[in-house]
């Protein structure tokens, strides 16, 4: 049913023909040096739909005036062809000259136009957007958890600042191992990439291939998990970050039964020493109850002494709290939405 907003604005899905105007809007209203305002290649990789052979669609919803001038944009990452699960990744509305509550109305129209069943993201603004998700859309919200394993053999840490208590954590010995793979064909030969798991959203093979094998800037490492029987039971995705001659490994996504993660203590500790990482970390919405401490992980206290940085572009050597929201209590990982991407160009 039409309301007062329809008298002034139009709401529609964007197409490839809108990209230049969306990029100009981001440059003008958000940040002049934002990567999505300056790299069309990256913009189309992130929000295009060519993985589904759709060369016209773009994963953006627009709010425009009656002359089709852009007043607001919502970009989203989709995990399947039918947009059943999405993660809003960029929301911006022009700050002046709009009807009251135009931003909230725009969020409602985005949900109507896309029609997703699962809607989740993190990096949510705690002061403006988070209250809307709680009070209006009745979603679950919280603070992302950051688990980490410190390399105890490092003498001088240039990225982390660990206290003594977290440097020599024990772990449960298992016969699990990690087998690094380099091509998507290797992945498909070892595990069922279409499998679904408890508390995990479905991620299509097309999404996984695009996200971790076709990224235009980042290189991701991939390891298949093998259990004590020699069966392949999952896959983890990680990205190395180097700074000042030091390096760390961020585990950014995982496909498999979440209960398998507690068995990875030995292979992860071998990896951290073989590669001389300062630490390995894993950022998730909530893995309470999955006993990651058995793999030697420590849950970071963002207000505590130990520092495991969150921001690297630019680098900030301090802990940060990041909010998330979702509909159904699924587990959100670092690479979901747009959180693991370059910021500037």
Residue 40 structure tokens: 């069309």
pLDDT tens digits, 200-243: 999 999 999 999 999 999 999 999 999 999 999 999 999 999 99
Share of the chain above pLDDT 70, in %: 100
Q: Sheet containing 323-326: which strands, arranged edge to edge?
A: 121-124, 323-326, 140-143
Segments forming the whole domain that contains residue 27? 9-119
Instruction: Answer yes or no: is pLDDT of 278 > 80.
Output: yes
In a shared domain, residues 54 and 165: no
pLDDT band at 292 (very low <50, low <70, confident <90, very high): very high
pLDDT at 259: 96
In a shared domain, residues 155 and 265: yes
pLDDT tens digits, 116-143: 999 998 888 888 888 888 889 999 899 9
- Which H or E element spans position 92? strand 85-93
Per DSSP, the residues of 249-273 read EEEEEEEE-GGGGGG-HHHHHHHHH
In a shared domain, residues 157 and 288: yes
The SS3 of residue 177 is strand
> CA-to-CA distance for 205 and 279, rounded, in angstroms?
30
| CATH number for the domain that contains residue 32 | 3.40.630.30
In a shared domain, residues 33 and 151: no
283 φ/ψ angles, rounded to the nearest 5 degrees: -105, 125
Token pair 């607001």 is found at: 72
In a shared domain, residues 107 and 151: no
pLDDT tens digits, 13-40: 999 999 999 999 999 999 999 999 999 9
Is 31 a domain residue? yes
In a shared domain, residues 175 and 35: no
At what angle are helices 40-47 and 19-29 packed, to 10 degrees? 110
Is 240 a domain residue? yes
> CA-to-CA distance for 287 and 267, rounded, in angstroms?
20
> CA-to-CA distance for 340 and 32, rounded, in angstroms?
20
Is 262 a domain residue? yes
In a shared domain, residues 18 and 53: yes
pLDDT at 124: 81
Is 334 a domain residue? no
Q: How many residues does the chain have?
A: 345
């Amino acid at each position: 049913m039409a309301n007062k907003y329809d008298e002034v604005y139009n709401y529609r899905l964007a197409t490839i023909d809108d990209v230049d105007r969306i990029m100009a809007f981001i440059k003008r209203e958000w940040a002049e040096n934002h990567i999505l305002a300056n790299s069309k290649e990256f913009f189309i990789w992130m929000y295009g739909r060519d993985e589904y052979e759709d060369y016209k669609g773009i994963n953006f919803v627009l709010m425009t005036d009656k002359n089709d001038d852009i007043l607001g944009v919502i970009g989203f990452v989709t995990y399947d062809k039918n947009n059943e699960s999405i993660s809003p990744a960029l929301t911006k509305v022009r700050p002046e000259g709009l009807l009251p509550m135009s931003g909230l109305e725009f969020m409602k129209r985005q949900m109507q136009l896309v029609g997703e069943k699962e809607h989740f993201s993190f990096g949510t603004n705690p002061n403006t957007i988070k209250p809307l998700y709680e009070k209006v859309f009745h979603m679950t919200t919280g603070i992302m958890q950051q688990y980490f394993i410190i390399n105890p053999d490092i003498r001088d840490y240039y990225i982390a600042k660990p206290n003594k208590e977290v440097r020599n954590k024990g772990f449960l010995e298992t016969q699990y191992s990690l087998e690094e793979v380099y091509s998507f064909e290797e992945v498909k030969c070892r595990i069922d990439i279409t499998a679904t798991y408890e508390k995990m959203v479905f991620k299509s093979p097309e999404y996984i291939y695009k996200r971790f094998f076709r990224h235009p800037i980042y290189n991701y490492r991939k390891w298949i998990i093998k259990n004590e029987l020699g069966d392949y039971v999952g896959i983890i995705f990680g990205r190395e970050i180097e700074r000042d001659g030091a390096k760390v490994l961020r585990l950014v996504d995982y496909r498999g039964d979440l209960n398998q993660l507690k068995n990875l203590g030995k292979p992860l500790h071998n990896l951290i020493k073989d590669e001389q990482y300062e630490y390995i970390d894993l950022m998730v919405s909530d893995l309470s109850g999955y006993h990651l401490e058995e793999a030697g992980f420590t849950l970071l206290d963002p207000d505590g002494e130990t520092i495991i940085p969150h921001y690297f572009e630019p680098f900030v050597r301090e802990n940060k709290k990041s909010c998330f929201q979702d509909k159904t209590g699924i587990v959100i990982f670092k690479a979901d939405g747009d959180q693991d991407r370059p910021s500037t160009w």
